[in-house]
A and B are shown apart, each in its own frame.
Chain A
Amino acid sequence: MKVLRIILTITIFLCMGLSGSAQKTILLSKGRVHVGNGKVINQGLVGIKGDKIILVDNALTHNLDKSAWDTIIDLKGLDVYPGFFAPNSKLGLTEIDAVRATRDFNEVGAYNPHVRSLTAFNVESDIIGTVKTNGVFYSQATPEGGVISGSSSVMSLNGWNWEDAVLKKDDGIHLNWPSTVSGGWSTPKKSSEDYSSQLKEIRAFFEAALSYSSSKDLYDPRFEAMRALFNGEKRLYIHADQMRALLDIIDFQRDLKIKYPVIIGGYDSHKVADQLNSSNIPVIIKGGHTLPENEDDPVDFPYRLPFLLKEAGVLFCIQNSGRMETMNSRNIPFLAGTAMAYGLTEEEAITAISLSTAKILGVDKIVGSIEEGKIATLFVNKGTPLDMRTNNLIFGIINGEFVDLSNVQTKLYDKYKKKYEDQK
C-alpha cells in the first residue's frame, strides 16, 4: 500500500519536474541513506532544492521544520543511494553493435586526441533508458580504437540534448598502451618486438605535444587538444593491463608531466599497487564479470580484484568494457555486488561505482555521493540494488528531476502482458 502511495507521488513529481518548476523543495525522509563515501545514515533526511542537495542529516537528531518543504516523501524502510556511474562507456555512442550505421565510437586514424565523443552522444538511445532503470545515472562517453582514441565526456543520462546532458566536457584523452606480449587466438604474433618501438612513437608524440603546449602562437588541432593534459584540465586515461605496461606508464606519466593519469583496465594493478599509490594513479578496473586472463589464474581472480586493490589502498572504481558492454552497463550494480560477495563491504562496493568513480573522473566536487551542496542525483530502492533480486528502483532523481524509469523494454512487456491477459 505504501509503495503504491509513493508511486502516485512520483507521477505527480514527474509532471512537475518536466513542467520546470525547478525551485520547489523536496525532503526525502527517514530512508536509510547510503551516502556513497562509505557512511550510512539509518534514518536520514535528504533535502533537495532545484538540482541541489541542500540537506543531509540524521532524522533522529535533526530538528525538522516540516513547513520549510514543499513536499515530504516518507521513505521509512527504504534505501537511498547515489546515482551510479558507467565509466569508459559507449552508451549513447552506439545503438546496435552489429549495425555499422549505429556505431559512432571509433574514428579512423591512430592519433585522434581532437576527436570528441561529446557531440556524437545520443541522449535518446533506447539503451540508456534500460540502464537508468537499474540506477546507473551517469556515463563517461568514451571513444575507442587507435593509439589515442579521442576525448571522452562525462554525461548525465537525462537530458534533451548532449549540451544539457554533459556534466564534464572533454574530461580526458584516452591512450591505448601497446601490449607487452602480443598475440591473438587465430594467429599469435611474435612476442612483442613492436612494444618498444610503439612506445618510442607514443613518447615522441607526447613530447611534441608538451613542447607545443608552451607556445601560444602555434596551431595544430591534435596538439591543441593535448594541451589540457599538461595543465591538469584534462585527465589522461591510459588503457593497459599487464604488469610491465603499468610500470612503464608510471615512468611515462612522470617524464611527460601528466597531471592526472588514470589507468583503465589494470588487470595486474594489484601487483604494482605500491608504485601506483606513490604516484597517485587511480585505476578503473574491469568489473568482475570477465574470465581470468590466463588459464593459471585463480578462477575467482576477477571477482576478487576489487578487494585486493582496496586492501592495497589503491583508489579504484569499476567499469564494464568488453563484449556487449553497452547494453550490459545496466549490470554495473551487479559487478559491484560481485565485488561485495568477494570481500568488499556493501558500502565499499557502492563507493566503487559512485564516489570513487566521480573522484577518478574529476567530478566528485559536484556529484558521486549524497552530500550537501552536490547535485541531486540519487534513487530509492528497497534492499540492496547490488543484488539482482532486489534491484527494483522505486524512483530516481537526476539533477533534481525525477527520472522516467520505464523504457522501451518495459513498454513491450506491458504490451504483451496485456495481450495475454486479454486472452484469458
Chain B
Amino acid sequence: MRTTYILSILILLFCSYSFGQTPVPNNGMKKSEASIYVLRNAKIIVSPDKIIKKGSLVIENGKIISVGKMVRFPDGAIIIDMEGKTIVPSFIESYSSIGLPKAESPQNTPNPQIETSKEGAYYWNESIHPETDAASQFKVDSKASETLQKMGFSVAVTHIDDGIARGSGAIVALGDIPHKDAILKSKGGAYFSFEKGVSKQTYPSSQMGVIALLRQALYDAEYYKNNEENLSRNLSLSALNEQLSGPMIFNVNDKLEVLRAKKIADEFELDFIILGAGNEFEQINDFKDWKQPMILPINFSDPYDVGDPYISQQIPLSDLKEWELSPSNPFILKKNNVKFAISSKGHTKPEDFWKHFHNVLERGLSREDALASLTTIPAEIFKIEDQLGTLDEGKIASFSVFDKDPFEVKNAVLEESWSLGKQHFVTDKPEVDIRGKYRISIPGTSYVIDIKGTAEKPTGTAISYKTIVDSSTMRSKVDTLKSKVGVKVDYRDAVFHFEVRDNKYDGVVTLHGNFSPKIDAFIGQGQMPDGTWVKWAGIQLSRLKVDQKEIEKNKVVVDTNSVGKVWFPNMAYGFDTLPKKKTYVLRNATLWTNEEEGVIEKGTIILKDGKIDFIGSGTFSIPANAIEIECKGMYITSGIIDEHSHIAISKGVNESGQAVSAEASIADVVRNDDINIYRQLSGGVTVSQLLHGSANPIGGQSAIIKLKWGYSPEQMLVKDMPKFIKFALGENVKQSNWGDNQTVRFPQTRMGVEQVFYDAFIRAEEYKKKWKEYNELSPKKAERKNITAPAIDLELETVWEVKNGERFVSCHSYVQSEINMLMKVADSMGFTINTFTHILEGYKLADKMAAHGAGGSTFSDWWAYKYEVKDAIPFNANLMQEQGVVVAINSDDAEMGRRLNQEAAKSIKYGGMSEQDAWKMVTLNPAKLLHLDDRMGSLKKGKDADVVIWTDNPLSINAQVSKTFVDGDLLYDSWKSVDHFYRIQTEKARIISKMLISNQNGEAKKPFEKKKEKHWHCDTIGDSKD
C-alpha cells in the first residue's frame, strides 16, 4: 500500500516538467510576451547526425514546432533572420551546483567528533546524506546561468556537491526565467563520490574507509527495504533506496577511482555513471569492455611556467605526460568504444571551456561524437531524451546561436542562448561593425580616417594635411599629421575625436554620427577646434580586410600524431608496452635455493610461463625461442618478500576514525603508479604485503601484491590472495603521540585495548549466531518466508573470519605485556595470531610465541623512536629464531624496503645467524608467514618465477640487483634503467619545449608546485589532498 503511494508520488514528480502550468495569479494583467518565433536562414545542427545547411526553426510556447528547409511560418510569428549563423541544440551539464547553497562545515571542536552531530532520523554517518534534495533548495541564479549559457548549456543537473552519498540532483533550465518554470525534473539523478565533504565526524578518514562505508550503507538500504515495516523510519536509507532505480552519478578524482567505483557497482549490480577524472587514458586497458556510459571532464590543466630551467627540471615526467595527453582522453576512450557525456566541470570561464572543447576536437574526436557527448548522451543518461538533446519537433526549444559553426572554427562566438523558447543575448555584440577606411567630409575640408581593431573596441588613425608656402621662394610643401582616433560605438552611433592640422583647423575635432549599415556611411554633426558646429558625412572607402592568416589559425584541424605515447604506467620508467611472456634461461649462476639443495654453484634456472621450469646444475634442454642470459659470477635468488609495506596505496593507510575498522581494505585502494614499486624491484623485492596502518586495535584488511610495474591494481594482487588483517597494540592505538586533543577515542590505555578485542569478538559471535539461525531455517518452509535475512555487518563479517581462522592476523606490536595479552585473547577465542609484526620485544617472550604458534616479522635494528621501543634490540631476530619462531625482516618503509638484503645481513652481525638463515628471513620465512610458501619464497620447480639476479652475494654490502623477474616477466633491468633515464630526459625536454612555446605565446600557465612523494608509515594519519 505504502509502496504504491510512494511510487505514485514519484511518477508525479517525474512528470512535473510538462509545460501546462497550474494557474498562477498575476498582479494586474498578464504580461504581454511574444510566443511564436521563426529563426530562418540558419545552419541548424538538429542532432549529431542531422545538419540542415540553410533552414528554419519554428518555436511556439517554448517548444519546437517544426524544423527544416521548407517549413510553414505560422501567422503572428516573429521572424528573425539568422543568415550565416549556426544553431546548436542546448548542451546538458551533468555536474553542476548552480542555484544551490554551499554545504557548510559544522563548527570545529578541539576534540575529535566520533559520532554524528546531525539531529533527526538520518544515517549514523554525516557523509551519507542521500536525503539531501537539490530541488527543494534550488533558486534561479541568472548570473551563474550566464556563465554556463556562454558555454552552450541551457540545461543543467544541479546538486549540492558534498559528501559520499550526496543526495538528489534537480534538472533545471538555465537563464533568467521564472522560478515556476525552472525545474524540469526534481529528482533527476542521485550523486555519489569518494569524498567525505564537510562532515567533521572522524570516520571515514581514508578512501578505503569511504569505500567500506558506502558499501555498508548500500547493504543497510537493502536490509531497510526488506524490513521497512518492522523498523523505525530512516530518511536517509529510504531516500537511498529510491535512488537506486534512477541514474546514479559517481564523481571521482582519478582513473583508479573510476575502477574502484565500478567494483562497488558490480558488487551491488548497480549502474553507476562515473564522472571520470580525465586521465582514464592512462589505464585504457581496463576500459576495453566498458558498458555503462561515463561522464568526462575536459578541464585540462594549464602548462607549467617553464621559463626557469632550475625549476622546470624538477617537474616530474608524469605531470608533463598527463598534461600533454589529457586532451586526447575523450578520443582515446571513444576509440575503445566507451560511451560518454562531456561535462564543463571545473571551468569558471567560458573561453577556457571552448578552448578545451576545441582541444578535444583537434585531438580527433569527431564533431558528431562531440555533439552527442554534450546533448543526446547526457539526455539519455538523465532519461530526458524525449524532451531535450536535439532540435527535433516537439522538443524543448533550448539551443545556442553562434556566428559561425563552433565545430569548425575556434573563434565562433556564442551570441544567443535560448532557454525554454526564450531568447537571451549572452554576448555584448556591437550592433554594427564600422571598421574600414572613411573619407570624412566637413564643409571646407576633409580627412581620411582608418578604423581597425575589433568590432567591439575599434581604434583608428586620422590623417590631415597642411600646405605651407615659403614666402620667399613661393615654393610650397605639405606637412602631414597622423593622429590617433578615439572611437566609441554606442548602438548604431559612433563618436570620434582626433587631432587635425590643416590650413583651416588646428586642434581636436569631435564628431558624432549615425551609421547606416545598408550604405556603410555616417551622417552627423560635430564641433571643430575653433568651437564651430558643423554637419559632416563619412563615406566608406574600403572595408577592413579579412586577415586570411587569422582565418586559417582559427580552423579546427585534427592532428592525432603530435603527441607522445602513453607509457605503462604513464610516468618515468614506464613501459611502452607491457612485457610479453618469454622464456628465460639463466645460466652459470650461484643459486641460493632456500631448499634442501642449499646453494648450487654453476647452476641454471629456466623461467617459463611465469613459473620456474627447471633448476639445477644437471642437463637440461633449452626451450624454443628462449632468451639465454649468461650469469657467470652472479647470484640468483627468489624475490624478496616484504611482510610489512605501505607503498602503492591511495589516500590513506589508516582508517583511524574508529577503534575497529575491519571493514576497510587496502586491496580496494592499491595504486599502480607509485614509483616505489619500481624502486622496490630495483632492490630485488617481488612481493609486498600492503598493510593497513596501526592507528586502531583492529585495523583493515591487507593487500598482498606482486610488484608488477606497469600492470593494473587488480592484476597486481596475488592470485587467491590469503586473507589478512592488521591488528595493532600500544602507543599508536591509544593515540599517545597524536597530540593533547586526541584523548576521546576508546581506548587510551593498554587496559582498554584488551577490552576492544574481547568486545569485537563477542559481537562477531552474536552476529554470526543470528546468521546461523537464519541459515538453518529451511528455505522451503513457510517459516523462512516471514523472516528476512539479518543485516549484513561488514565489520563483524571480517572479525568473524579472524575468529574462525579464515583470515590471518598481522599484529603491530612492541611491548611484551601486550603481546602476551593478545595471545591470551586469541587462545580464549580459539584462534592463533599468525604474525606479530615489528615485535621488537619478541625476544622477551619468544618461548611463549613459539608455543602459541605465532611468527615474528621484525625490523633489523630500529629502536628509540618512541617510548615503547626503548627495549628493542637488534639481536631480536636471532633470539626469536632460536626459540623456533618463524622470523622475517620487514621494512614498513619505502626506502628500507629496497635494501632488505642489507637488513637481513645485520642478523649475521647481531647474534651470528648463518647466511642461509639470514637470507630466508626476507624470502622463505615471510612467504611462510603469508601462507604463500607453496608458490613463492624459494627456487623450486613449479614455483612462481619471481627471481632476482644479483651481482654479488646478496647479503654483501656490494650486492646490486642486475635483473628482477616477476611471474617470469623481466620488470627491472639495471642496464635498461640507465637507458630509461636518458629516454626520460628526452621526453621531458620534448614536452617542456611545447610548454615553452605556449608560455611564449602568452597563454595561461601555472607555477610548478612540488608535491612531495607520499610515504606512508604505520602511524601516518589521515589522507593527503591531491
Contacts and interface: CB of A to CB of B under 8 A. Distances in A.
Q: Do A and B come from one complex?
A: yes
A190 interface: yes
A341 B318 contact: no
B956 A387 contact: yes
B843 A99 contact: no
A379 to B, nearest CB: 14
Interface stretch (B13-21, B225-233, B553-561, B856-864): B856-864
A409 interface: yes
Interface of B: 305, 310-311, 313-314, 316-318, 571-573, 675-676, 678-679, 682, 731, 736-737, 843-844, 846-847, 861-867, 870-875, 879, 882-883, 893-896, 898-899, 902, 905-906, 908-909, 911, 915, 955-960, 974, 977-978, 981, 984, 988, 1007-1015, 1024-1025
Contacts of B957: 334, 337-338, 340-341, 384, 386-389
27 contacts: A95-B864, A96-B864, A97-B864, A97-B865, A127-B864, A183-B1011, A188-B1011, A190-B1007, A191-B305, A191-B1009, A243-B310, A244-B311, A296-B317, A298-B981, A327-B864, A330-B861, A337-B958, A388-B902, A388-B906, A388-B957, A392-B909, A410-B873, A410-B875, A413-B873, A416-B879, A420-B847, A423-B847
B960 A341 contact: yes
B877 to A, nearest CB: 12
B151 to A, nearest CB: 28
A181 B906 contact: no
Given A181-B314, A296-B316, A409 B958 contact: no
Nearest to A182: B1010
Contacts of A420: 846-847, 879, 882-883
A384 B957 CA distance: 10
A291 B676 CA distance: 9
Contact of A188 (B316, B896, B1010): B1010
B1013 A98 contact: no
B902 A412 contact: no
Given A184-B1012, A295-B317, A300-B682, 9 more contacts: A181-B1010, A182-B1010, A188-B1009, A188-B1012, A190-B1007, A191-B1007, A291-B895, A388-B955, A412-B873
A168 interface: no
A299 B978 CA distance: 9
Contact of A389 (B865, B872, B905): B905
Given A99-B867, A298-B978, A324-B862, A185 B1012 contact: yes
A61 interface: no
Interface in A127-164: 127
A294 B310 contact: no
Given A184-B1012, A291-B1013, A294-B316, A341 B959 contact: yes
Given A96-B864, A96-B865, A185-B1024, A299 B678 contact: yes
B879 A413 contact: yes
The residue among B865, B874, B981 with the most chain A CB atoms within 10 A of its own CB is B865
A98 B870 contact: no
A409 B909 CA distance: 14
A183 B909 contact: no
A189 B1010 CA distance: 8
A326 interface: yes
Q: Which of A98, A331, A334 has the most CB of B within 10 A?
A: A98
A33 to B, nearest CB: 21
A296 B864 CA distance: 33
Contacts of A294: 314, 316
B282 to A, nearest CB: 15
Given A291-B1013, A298-B977, A327 B862 contact: yes
A326 B866 CA distance: 12
A290 B676 CA distance: 12
Contacts of A295: 316-318, 571-572, 675, 1013
Nearest to B897: A291
Interface in A298-332: 298-300, 323-324, 326-327, 330-331
A413 to B, nearest CB: 4
B1013 A181 contact: no
Contacts of B573: 299
A254 interface: no
A294 B318 CA distance: 11
A324 B1018 CA distance: 14
A76 interface: no
Nearest to B985: A296
B311 A181 contact: yes
Given A181-B311, A327-B864, A388 B905 contact: yes
A307 B896 CA distance: 21
Contacts of A289: 895-896, 899
Contacts of A106: none
Contacts of A99: 866-867
A80 to B, nearest CB: 19
A294 B911 CA distance: 37
A213 to B, nearest CB: 32
Given A185-B1012, A298-B977, A416-B843, A327 B984 contact: no
A341 B909 CA distance: 19
Given A294-B316, A296-B988, A338-B957, A191 B864 contact: no
A99 B313 CA distance: 39
Contacts of B870: 96, 126
A296 B984 contact: yes
Contact of A388 (B675, B843, B909): B909
A187 B572 CA distance: 23
Nearest to B977: A299
A331 B1024 contact: no
B310 A327 contact: no
Contact of B873 (A95, A184, A341, A409): A409
A25 interface: no
A390 B909 CA distance: 7
Nearest to B918: A389
Nearest to A189: B1009
A186 interface: yes
A291 B675 CA distance: 10
B1000 to A, nearest CB: 19
Contacts of B902: 334, 338, 388
Q: Which among B736, B893, B911, B957 has the highest number of chain A CB atoms within 10 Å?
A: B957
B711 to A, nearest CB: 18
